[in-house]
Amino acid sequence: LFTIFIFCFLSLGLQAREATDKPNIIFVLLDDLGKEWINCYGGENIKTPRIDQLAEQGLKFDNAYSMPQCTPSRVAFMTGQYPYRSGWVNHWDSPRWGAAYYDWNKNPSIARTMQSVGYTTAVAGKWQLNDFRIHPDAMVKHGFDDYCMWTGGEGSKDKKHKDISNQRYWNPYIHTKEGSKTYPGKFGPDIYNQFLLDFISENKDKPFFIYYPMALPHGPLVHTPLEPNVKGSYAKHKAMVHYIDLLTGKLVDHLNDLKIRENTIIVWTCDNGTAGGINNNMNGREVKGGKTQTTENGVNTPFIVSWPGIIPEGKTSKAIVDFTDMHQTFADFAGAKLDPNYTYDGKSAKEVFLGAPKSQREWIMAMGSNPARMTDKGVENVYYFRDRVVRDTRYKLFISTDRKAEKLYDLEKDPAELNDLINNPEYKAVLDRLSQAIETFPETDNDPTYTKLETNPWGKKATFPSKIHKQGHPDQPEKFKVKAISKKEKN
């Protein structure tokens, strides 16, 4: 009887633990850091003990996709939509270039989804999707109850102000509910981190959602408070990775100190690969910085999920997930319903987070990037159909701007993507299977959807007439141009 009692007691405890209502959720997003710089992923010449510890206390993913540049990745996370749907296919820096911005009236937001079921929300770090001079309350309208943001380099004819606003690290220029100002002698990442620790303390007794787009380690490469005397670009980058590790540890320690770690999901990842020219060895091979590239070093991001007692610990998952999945996943954990006014591309990864070996997905995707262009119609993408890659747990297909299969790789045997198999008849079934994804894509990618504003003095000027600026099908460019234009003009 005693044994039965203990079994029942433990079972009830387990059920209560599994049924935790509205766990806290923290999404940590680094800026330009590939797997090759994380020790638990096989990164060499680097120590990341607190990140490694987070992986030991959770699930480390091998096959998680971002986009290859910051704007598309961040909007894909916020909206749960692929760039071809949201329109943010290419990079666009709103404070610096003006015009296009992430419009809360025309786009979904994960923060608003979480608010809809009682979550208190906060964000701290890098945004760059709105110009706070024009929309000082943009973060609130996107669904964040509080915020502490680097403004981004606010383009201006006033060079002095531009130089001030560019500062994200030392003497940072930061926007809060009190407005934008410089913090002399301070290190920006410390301010963003402390802001979130204070937010957690103030909201520890109710469910909260935090988006932590950590500014590190994107350039400019600088020394840190931990290593103030470091010299040279490579050494500074390494020091900035060490500081990421330190701040990750501070976050986890604070949750432990408040005794809410066991009710908090942490997702720790990055928006794209390391900046070009910053290379490191990983598992015995050199990996080049892959930012802006759709090769694995550009889009296969470090991705760690931890929730003690619920998510398997010390395991590695081969399941495929990408950034569009996070909106649906967090909504599932929170018990929220998605806004029916929008179409979402993501699939919930909740069961994968909880240990399921296979996701709902047949493939994940990343799209090519580089900056968009300003035309006489506004901000538009460079291509009618942007190049992209799709992959399953093993194979990867490159798709060109003319919607054709271009290259095929076996990532299990060829992680560096050196041996193209597209003309190998032994892989025809794989090629045919992955090529089916092409038929699911719209003929043309959308451009960003936003309410147009009056032209600002710092805004980018139109550089191309809208009817000729895009690159279409190389064999029938006019056919593709006419279709794309007629569709837009019809709308």
Q: Map tokens 């913090």 to a residue.
A: 183
Segments in 258-349 forming alpha helices (H): 296-299, 325-334
Q: What is the pTM of this model?
A: 0.92
Write down the mean pLDDT value for the chain: 91
The arithmetic mean of pLDDT across residues 9-36, rounded, is 73
pLDDT confidence tier of residue 10, bands split at 50, 70 and 90: very low
Q: How far is CA 274 from the centre of its chain?
A: 13
Structural Rg of the chain based on CA atoms: 22
Whole-number Å distance between alpha carbons of 35 and 42: 8
Q: Give the H or E element holding residue 266.
A: strand 264-270
Burial class (CB in 10 A: 0-12, 13-18, 19+), 362: middle
Give the lowest-confidence range in 45-49, 85-89, 468-472. Answer: 468-472
Query: Which tokens hold the place of 138?
Result: 């943009």
Give the pairing of strands 303-306 and 315-322.
Answer: unpaired
Whether 448 and 91 have beta carbons less than 8 Å apart is answered as: no
- pLDDT 10s digits, 293-323: 999 999 999 999 999 999 999 999 999 999 9
Supply the pLDDT for residue 289: 97
Q: Map tokens 């179409």 to a residue.
A: 343
Residue 481 has pLDDT above 80, yes or no: no
Give the lowest-confidence range in 4-18, 149-163, 317-331, 458-472. Answer: 4-18
pLDDT confidence tier of residue 159, bands split at 50, 70 and 90: confident
Q: Map tokens 């550009």 to a residue.
A: 298
pLDDT confidence tier of residue 489, bands split at 50, 70 and 90: very low
Residue 478 has pLDDT above 70, yes or no: no
Query: Which tokens hold the place of 327?
Result: 């909106």
Whether 109 and 470 have beta carbons less than 8 Å apart is answered as: no
Residue 487 has pLDDT above 80, yes or no: no
Burial class (CB in 10 A: 0-12, 13-18, 19+), 73: buried
On the CB side of 387, CA atoms within 13 Å amount to 18
Residue 17 has pLDDT above 50, yes or no: no
> Which of the 8 DSSP states describes residue 262?
G
The arithmetic mean of pLDDT across residues 216-227, rounded, is 98
pLDDT confidence tier of residue 47, bands split at 50, 70 and 90: very high
Strands (E), 371-428: 373-375, 378-380, 388-391, 395-399, 405-410
pLDDT confidence tier of residue 469, bands split at 50, 70 and 90: low
Query: Which tokens hold the place of 434?
Result: 């992955």
**What is the arrangement of strands in the sheet containing 364-367, beginning at the earlier edge strand?**
364-367, 388-391, 395-399, 405-410
Residue 488 has pLDDT above 80, yes or no: no
Give the lowest-confidence range in 34-43, 86-95, 127-136, 156-165. Answer: 156-165
Whether the upstream peptide bond of residue 72 has omega within 30° of 0, thus cis, is no
Whether 31 and 215 have beta carbons less than 8 Å apart is answered as: yes
Supply the pLDDT for residue 15: 34
Please report, in angstroms and rounded to a whole number, the separation of the first and last CA atoms in the chain. Answer: 71
Supply the pLDDT for residue 370: 83
The arithmetic mean of pLDDT across residues 232-253, rounded, is 98
The arithmetic mean of pLDDT across residues 337-357, rounded, is 96
Q: Of 32, 27, 38, which Cα lies nearest the Cα of 299?
A: 32
Residue 485 has pLDDT above 50, yes or no: no
Give the pairing of strands 315-322 and 173-176.
Answer: unpaired
Q: Of 342, 248, 271, 349, which Cα lies nearest the Cα of 39?
A: 248
Q: Give the H or E element holding residue 125.
A: strand 120-126
Supply the pLDDT for residue 455: 78
Residue 400 has pLDDT above 70, yes or no: yes
